[in-house]
Structures are given as C-alpha cells and as structure tokens.
Structure 1
Amino acid sequence: MNWINNLVRPKIRSFLEKRDVPENLWIKCPESGEMVFHRDLEANQWVVPNSNFHMRIAGKKRLEYFFDGGNFEKVETPEVAVDPLKFRDQRRYVDRLKDAKAKTELEDSVLVAKGKVNGYDLTAAVQDFAFMGGSLGMAAGEAIICGMETAVANKTPFVMFAASGGARMQEGILSLMQLPRTTVAVQMLRDAGLPYIVVLTNPTTGGVTASYAMLGDVHIAEPGALIGFAGQRVIEQTIREKLPEGFQRSEYLRDHGMVDMVVHRHDMKETISQLCNLLMKRETLLPELPKETLALSAPQSEAGQESFGA
C-alpha cells in the first residue's frame, strides 16, 4: 500500500489540482481586447504592439525610459502635513495614504528627478496615476514647485508628465490652493528663460488641466489620451448637446489647437530633446564618427582634384 500512498495518489492529486497562474501574466488591451504577454508589453514601453494603445505606466518606469541609461537622481521634496483636515469618508484619509504608499512605493503622486537626456541636463516631474488617481494635494504641489525651483537653480529645462484626475478632495481648499502656487512657479521658470514642456498622458483632467498642465511652452500628448476639465457626460448635461466623437482625446485637441503635437511614447525622448535644444538655442550633440569615415569625408587635395577633373 505504501507505493500507492506515496507515489500514485500524489501524482493523481497534482494532475487534478488547479495550477496557480499569476494574474498579471497576460494583459488585455482595453481597446482591441488583444491578450499581450506582460514581458513583451514592458519591453515595448507598455504600448500594445498591434493596436498601438498606450497603457498607463508607473512613474519610476517612465523616468527610466526617459533619462539616458535609465539613470536619474531623485529630488527630495519638502514634507507637508499628512492629514490637516482630519478627513474621513468611508475610510480615514491617513489609511488611504498608507495603502497608496505601499502600492506604489512613493511618498505621494508626484516624483521629481534630474538627469541627462541625450547628454544634456534636464529636470522632470511625473505624476503616478496609481497613487490616488494622481490627485493634486499639498505634497504633490510642493513636489512640483520644488522641481521647478531645482530647474531654475541648475538652469535646466523642466518637463512635466501629467496624469491626474484633479484636485484631492480629502484636502479641500488646501488642495485647490496648489493651482495658483504652481502657476507662480511656472512664471518663475519663464522669468529665468527656461523651457517648460508638458506631456499630457491618459488621463489629465480637473484642476491639473486648469493650472500647470496647460501653461507649458509646448504641449505634447500621448496618442488617445483623455484630456479635459469636466467629464463628457457633465458637459453634455450642461449644454444639452451631444459632443462630437473623440471629444477630449489627444488627436481631437490637436486638430482644434489645444495641443501642439501628439507623439508616440517611443519617440517622446527624442522629441523633447530636440525641443529643449531648440528653445535653449544649443547645438545637438552628434555621435562621433569612426576615423575611416572621417578620412573618406575629408576634402581632396589640389592634386587629387586636378587628376579627378582630368
């Protein structure tokens, strides 16, 4: 009986038992329904290969794709009061913050960093939508202002990757005060003569759109991104009209002058680098050519030119 208990029965159980498969092994494209292997999706910068759908991306991962070699230095931002209003709805605000920090490994919704992009120094901030919908609160406002002050101190361009559902209701009027504060910081960049480039990702709505997200020197949007202040349903109920198809999407806003350009995520780094070089009036760094190529491209001697003409 031992061989039955020790060998046969375990094999039967292992055959009948359901194998555990990681939930995130395959990811479904929201647009086409295509199932994509998560490693292939990550290797493609979280852009679905066939449908070209741009999925949301973590803040740290976006900075890794943006800076040269994925190397950047995190800028420390000032600390703020955690729960100044002692807010509570279905849960306490402090508990929501703890969960968001554990989920994203971030202190708040905005991450500021500095590094090199195509060899030039640049300061950037990114909003992580996974942190309470990328909502704008006191900590996020301080982070954005600190990032702009860092850009002014180092005399670098500043790039803002916006992704937000708007102001953070748990902080009330203190959240809304970040709109004028960040606007003043944008003016500080302008006074210093430094470029401010905004990248609008999916989604960028609410108070963020009403402040720093629409004050850039150049506005770039990712394909298919939802951009606007109020939601489409609210607008339709207010004006009592049906909105056109694709309203508040990147391509529609570009065609109507609200966005300067729509750029694929794979081309974002090169596009921003060229814009910064143009706005800073500096020459683009060209790769060094091999000596053999330089020898072939050198001007011919007079004797060589005469023999060629003969």
Structure 2
Amino acid sequence: MNWISNYVRPKINSLFSRREMPENLWTKCPECGTMLFHRELKDNLNVCTSCDHHMALTPRERFEDLFDGGIFTEVTVPEPVADPLHFRDQKKYPDRLKAAQKATGEVEAMLVAEGEMGRTPIVAAAQDFTFMGGSMGMYVGNAIIAAAERALELKRPLILFSAAGGARMQEGILSLMQMPRTTVAVEMLREAGLPYIVVLTDPTTGGVTASYAMLGDVHIAEPNALICFAGPRVIEQTIREKLPDGFQRSEYLLDHGMLDRVTHRKAMRDELVSITRMLLGLPPAVRGDLPAPTDTVDAADVPGALPNTAEPDAPA
C-alpha cells in the first residue's frame, strides 16, 4: 500500500480544495444587479438594500409579516373542476399545474388566511406570482369568494394583495367569468359595510386590474409596481408613440388619482393597521404589548429622573 498516494495526497487535497457554495445563498437584484445575501434579503422583506427595489414575495412570507407573531389560520377554498377544457399547448394543463405546485409548494395561485393584525381581526388573501404568473383561474375566483364569505361570517375586513399577469388562458372563458364573480363578492362586502382594502404589487395586470384589484375602498400600492390592463409595450405598438417615463407605475397612478397611497413594504403593516382601524371606527392601535402603567411609579425606575429627596410626611 502506497500511504503517500492513499492517505497524504487526499488529505492535502481536502485541505486546499475549494468548497462549493450552495447556489441559493445569493440573489441578484434585477434592478441594480447587486448580489444580496439571502438572510439579509429575507430580513429586509425581499427589498433590495442597495436600490430599494421591491422583489416578489410569496403569500406565506407576506402573511408572516402581516399577522401578529406570524400566526394565521388558512381558510379552506373549494376545489374547482380540474382541466375543464382539456387544454393543451406545449404541455397538458394538469402537467403545468403539477410543475407549478412542485416549484412553489402551494396548491394554487392564491392563499386565504385569517388572524389578527395589530390586535385587529382580519381576513386576508394574497396572490402568488411565481405560480403560473399569478394568473386568475377558477381557483382564484373561488378563493376570493371564500375570503369574502369568511369575512362576512366573522364580520371582519378583507385585505387582498394582488399580483397577477391576468386571466389564465388554459381555462378560457371560464377564467374570464371570474371577473363578474369576484365583483359580486366585493359587492357583498360593501353591502355589509365591511372594509375591503387592496394592496397592488408588481405586477398587477389584465383582468385582475379590470375586476377585484380596483374595487377596493382603499387602494395602496408598493413602490414602482406595474399596474395596468394592457402593458406599456402593447400600448406603444398600438399608438406608435413613446410613453412617458414611469407610465403605469405606482407613482404615476398616484399622481393621476387612481391610487390612495404608495407605501414602502416595510411600512405596509403599520399603514394597514391604521387604515383598517380607522374604517372600523376603532381607536389607534397601541404599539407593542407593554403592561398598563401603575398608579405609583418609583423614580429610580425612570431613566434620568431625580431621586425623591423629600422627607416623608409626619405621622398624624
């Protein structure tokens, strides 16, 4: 046995060999190209620390930040008929669904949950753009109706986070039928006097914008989010003119009266708490869960306070 070849050389190679780094430790910002460490990016709610670009956020990540303590209960959504049109392009529609479910770990493109936000009970729904572009199909329609019915049952406000590329072509006219269905669900909330708040994220386009995404009592958008029915490239090709800078972005729509607020993602929760409690006629939320102050406070416990040097009262 050659101990140099079998032991010494492998030992030396292991000491000097380059360790392989996992591919998912770094994320490249699509706006400025900065490489961001995954933990730092997660702690910043998927907002670039260099250029402040708001990247996609999954519904579960949103809900973990939105609900108190990240605790929420999922609302059951009725399952629609699978592949009603037997649609097939390069792949069968069921195969596309299975691939999206495997990639995202979710059943469909929308998640509905209930819980407390700033000690205020709410129902929330959020679209997942990573699931087939967040496209609106029958399941998304069922999810919004389930969210509205649950809000009506519990008499809670509904907050919806939209992120979609429009209707789902694999479901054809059945997908477009979700526009009037969701409109009726929103009208049910309005008739019951329950607040319906929409947070538009990048991107919100197509039939989603033409239905439930623009029917809220209050419309808030994340910075620089694309919000439109037809995209800017389609409009430019149609009218054969150059569009203004920032056309169909959040700030442009805010200036032209289509939005109420443009709010940074890190301030979104506090903004939603304030608006929700205002619409419900509740007092402002108390920050933190501090105990109520006592009637007597020892000066030694108050930073910067002078000690009490007064003599005690003489006994009667």
Using structure 1 for the length normalisation, give the TM-score: 0.91
Q: For 1:110-154, what per-residue CA distance to the aligned partner results, in whole angstroms no more than 9, with x for missing partners?
A: 000000001010000000111100000001110111001100110
Q: Unaligned 5+ residue runs, structure 2?
A: 300-316
1:302 aligned partner = none
Secondary structure of the residue aligned to 2:114 is strand
2:167 aligned partner = 167
TM alignment of 1:1-310, pairs within 5 A: 2-11=2-11, 13-14=13-14, 19-286=19-286, 288-291=291-294
Secondary structure of the residue aligned to 1:24 is helix
Alpha-carbon distance, 1:5 to partner: 2.2
Secondary structure of the residue aligned to 2:220 is strand
Secondary structure of the residue aligned to 1:163 is strand
Q: Distance in 2 between matches of 1:288 and 1:282?
A: 20
Alpha-carbon distance, 1:237 to partner: 1.5
Letter of the 1:51 partner, please give it. C
Letter of the 2:238 partner, please give it. T
Alpha-carbon contact 2:273-2:285 (below 8 Å) kept: no
Alpha-carbon contact 2:197-2:217 (below 8 Å) kept: yes
1:299 aligned partner = none
Letter of the 1:277 partner, please give it. R
Letter of the 1:113 partner, please give it. A
Secondary structure of the residue aligned to 1:46 is coil
Secondary structure of the residue aligned to 2:115 is strand
1:301 aligned partner = none
Q: Distance in 1 between matches of 2:32 and 2:80?
A: 43
- In structure 2, the CA distance between the partners of 1:16 and 1:96, relative to structure 1 (3 Å rule), is farther
Alpha-carbon distance, 1:240 to partner: 1.9
Q: For 1:137-173, what per-residue CA distance to the aligned partner results, in whole angstroms no more than 9, with x for missing partners?
A: 0011101110011001100010000000000000000
Q: Unaligned 5+ residue runs, structure 1?
A: 297-310
- In structure 2, the CA distance between the partners of 1:20 and 1:80, relative to structure 1 (3 Å rule), is same
- In structure 2, the CA distance between the partners of 1:72 and 1:275, relative to structure 1 (3 Å rule), is same
Secondary structure of the residue aligned to 1:5 is helix
Alpha-carbon distance, 1:252 to partner: 1.0
Alpha-carbon distance, 1:293 to partner: 7.7
Q: Distance in 2 between matches of 1:29 and 1:112?
A: 29
Q: Distance in 2 between matches of 1:76 and 1:219?
A: 26
Alpha-carbon distance, 1:48 to partner: 1.2
Q: Distance in 2 between matches of 1:3 and 1:249?
A: 68
Q: For 1:260-281, what per-residue CA distance to the aligned partner results, in whole angstroms no more than 9, with x for missing partners?
A: 1100111111111111111111
- In structure 2, the CA distance between the partners of 1:22 and 1:176, relative to structure 1 (3 Å rule), is same
2:312 aligned partner = none
The alignment's C-alpha RMSD in Å is: 1.7
Secondary structure of the residue aligned to 1:144 is helix
- In structure 2, the CA distance between the partners of 1:69 and 1:243, relative to structure 1 (3 Å rule), is same
Letter of the 1:210 partner, please give it. A
Q: For 1:64-109, what per-residue CA distance to the aligned partner results, in whole angstroms no more than 9, with x for missing partners?
A: 1100000000000111111101111000110010011111121110
Alpha-carbon distance, 1:52 to partner: 1.1
Q: What is the count of residue pairs matched by the alignment?
A: 296
Letter of the 1:99 partner, please give it. A
Alpha-carbon distance, 1:292 to partner: 6.4
Alpha-carbon distance, 1:284 to partner: 2.4
- In structure 2, the CA distance between the partners of 1:291 and 1:2, relative to structure 1 (3 Å rule), is farther
Q: For 1:209-237, what per-residue CA distance to the aligned partner results, in whole angstroms no more than 9, with x for missing partners?
A: 01000000110000111111111111011
Secondary structure of the residue aligned to 2:24 is coil
Alpha-carbon distance, 1:51 to partner: 1.2
